A = this chain, B = another copy of it.
Amino acid sequence: MRNSDARYAVLLAGGVGSRFWPQSRTLEPKQFLRLGRDKSLFRRSLERIHSLIPAKNIYIVTSPLYGDIIRSETASFNIPLSNLIFEPTPKNTAPAIALAAKIIFDRCKDEDASVAVLPCDQQITNKNRFSLLIRRAFANCRDRFVVFGIPPHRPAMGYGYIKAPSKGSFGPANILRRVERFCEKPDLKTAKKFLKQGSYFWNSGIFVGSVGVFLSAIRTHLPLLLKQVSAAASAEGEEGLASWNRIRPVSFDYGVMEKTRNAAMIPADGLGWSDLGSWQAWDELQRKDKNSNLLLADIVDIGSRDLTVLGREHLIATIGLKGLIVVDTPDALFIADKKKSEDVKQVVDILKKKNREEHFCHVTVKRPWGSYTVLETGPGFKIKLVEVLPGRSLSLQLHRKRSEHWVVIQGQATITNGKGRYRVHKNESTFIPKGHRHRLENREKTILKIVEVQTGASLTETDIVRFQDSFGRTKPHQFISESRG
């Protein structure tokens, strides 16, 4: 089958950024944050590309850690589950892109089909301009990469640069420029020179090319990688996993783009683009009040200026602060000089070294069936508030080291407990002894809330034996999801 008009998108959604800690966590990285908006960056990225490309042609490469979030965020777009590609371990962008290109080609057998590879943790406010530029890129990518270069407005050190002088313009209405070279992140002096010189653009990480362009460039510049990725994708279970694990991590910029001579750039001005690389970068894009404050919290402030506060249901009082950002979450509070907020990465590194949990997940953990919040832990006990969505159920499971008391505080629970199965109504409770197989189900049309008091010598999330699960969590790793069901 050949269809040179076919268009595909690959969203790279596997990043584990720590720059928005404490809102971002390993289990909830930047792309899934709302950051004061109504939708996550991932979802906004998906909406942008969905208006250009049919759902069946949108692929998402991500980590198994984000399977639940991705399945839930993509459900309303009708993106096939078989388009969700899971990297068993992160290997940077080149293996992710190679894997997606390989899978797309295996399915469409069309080297001329166009593919747009897109990060999904950036902000782009001008959606029409974005659509226009993507269409232009598609129209010109059969034989080359077309990359998006953002005209710089400050000597940023945090980006790679693309050198593409205006004298190298070509194509219809001169919309393309020949790429002279890709440059790694510069020091400040070099960045200033780039800015002054005028031929340098920020590398947005948006790459468009035909399937053939992608595969042949990878074959040329990373031949071993392509073999390893193909082996991993075509093998089952443990064998595929082993192939993947042998891959050496490398970025697509470094491994392919810096080496290819086959790239053009579209000057992507007017997108309202930001990579939101730090709290400060995000903060600069927000609308402030007359004192230059942004106070999204339950807050009493007296006389602060240039203050940004992201809170929760927890009172905050501030007096006379200036130039600070405060981010409060149930288990961690962050207060920083805005100009130094990038150092949050150091904080996260320290937390990792100390084996703390606050970099890994929030106290409220989302699950495919709903969520749970740890309210309190102490020696021998843990108290959780568990919410189960209508029609969902937890896996049939048992715990070897703990028993559980459940009090229903909202809705109605259907409970499997050992050999029994019964209903527990609001204001009733039940007891799950240690070692009993049990399952919590919500067969009603409203949310079920229970308070769970766990008691036992060991109270870890790993003390769980799953027998049946509606979300495929009893199976080993697979690169591609099964169909939704």
- Contact B405–A407 (Cβ < 8 Å): yes
A426 to B455, CA, bound (A): 9
- A304 vs B358: C-alpha distance in the bound complex, in angstroms? 21
Q: A326-B335, A381-B409, A409-B453 are in contact. Are A300 and B350 (CB under 8 A)?
A: yes
Bound-state CA distance A380–B346 (Å) is: 43
What are the residues of chain B within 8 A of A375 when measuring CB–CB? 375-376, 383
Interface presence of A427 (CB below 8 A):
yes
Query: Do A331 and B315 contact each other (CB < 8 Å), given the known contacts A320-B339, A320-B340, A340-B303?
Result: yes
Q: Which residues of B contact A344 (CB under 8 A)?
A: 317, 319
A22 & B317 in contact (Cβ 8 Å cutoff): yes
Q: Which residues of B contact A339 (CB under 8 A)?
A: 320
Whether A427 and B403, one on each chain, are in contact in the complex, defined by CB atoms closer than 8 angstroms, is yes
Q: Is A467 an interface residue (CB 8 A)?
A: no
Number of residues from A at the complex interface, CB < 8 A:
58
A282 within 8 A of B: no
**Neighbouring B residues of A111 by C-beta, 8 Å:** none
A160 to B316, CA, bound (A): 33
* Least Cβ–Cβ distance between A254 and chain B, in angstroms: 30
Report if A378 contacts B (CB, 8 A). yes
- Asked if A341 is at the interface (CB within 8 A of a chain B CB), the reply is yes
Contact B333 A319 (CB under 8 A): no
Whether B427 pairs with A429 at a CB distance below 8 angstroms is no
Cβ contacts under 8 Å, A346 to chain B: 302
- The answer to whether A378 touches B315 (Cβ under 8 A) is no
B-contact 0/1 string along A316-356, CB 8 Å cutoff: 11111110101010011111110111011011001100001
Determine whether the beta carbon of B350 is less than 8 Å from that of A321: no
Give the complex CA separation of A427 and B453 in angstroms.
Answer: 9
Give every chain B residue within 8 A of A356 (Cβ-Cβ).
Answer: 315
List the B side residues contacting A290 at CB < 8 Å: none
In the complex, chain A residues 203-221 whose Cβ is within 8 Å of any chain B Cβ: none
Contacts of A451 in B (CB 8 A): 381, 383, 451, 453
Residue of B nearest to A322 (CB): B337
Contact across chains for A317 and B333 when beta carbons are under 8 A apart: yes
A57 within 8 A of B: no
Report yes or no: A319 in contact with B336, Cβ–Cβ below 8 A.
yes
Is A431 on the interface with B (CB-CB < 8 A)?
Answer: yes
Residues of chain B lying within 8 A (CB to CB) of residue A409: 378, 380-381, 453, 455
A381 to B332, CA, bound (A): 26
Q: Is the CB of A320 within 8 A of B333?
A: no
**A123 CB-CB contact with B under 8 Å:** no
Known: A315-B356, A321-B324, A410-B381. A335 touches B332 (CB 8 A): no
Residue of B nearest to A428 (CB): B431
Q: Is B343's CB under 8 angstroms from A302's CB?
A: yes
Q: Is A271 an interface residue (CB 8 A)?
A: no
Any B CB within 8 A of the CB of A385 = yes
CB-CB nearest in chain B for A354: B300
Cβ contacts A to B, 11 pairs, < 8 Å = A317-B332, A317-B336, A319-B343, A320-B343, A322-B337, A375-B376, A381-B410, A383-B451, A405-B405, A427-B455, A429-B453
Known: A321-B335, A380-B409. 5 other contacts (CB 8 A): A320-B337, A326-B335, A383-B451, A405-B429, A426-B455
Which residues of A approach B to under 8 Å, CB–CB? 21-22, 300, 302-303, 314-322, 324, 326, 328, 331-337, 339-341, 343-344, 346-347, 350-351, 356, 358, 373, 375-376, 378-381, 383, 385, 403, 405, 407, 409-410, 426-427, 429, 431, 449, 451, 453, 455-456
9 smallest A-B Cβ distances: which pairs?
A320-B337, A320-B340, A319-B336, A381-B409, A315-B332, A407-B453, A427-B455, A375-B375, A317-B347
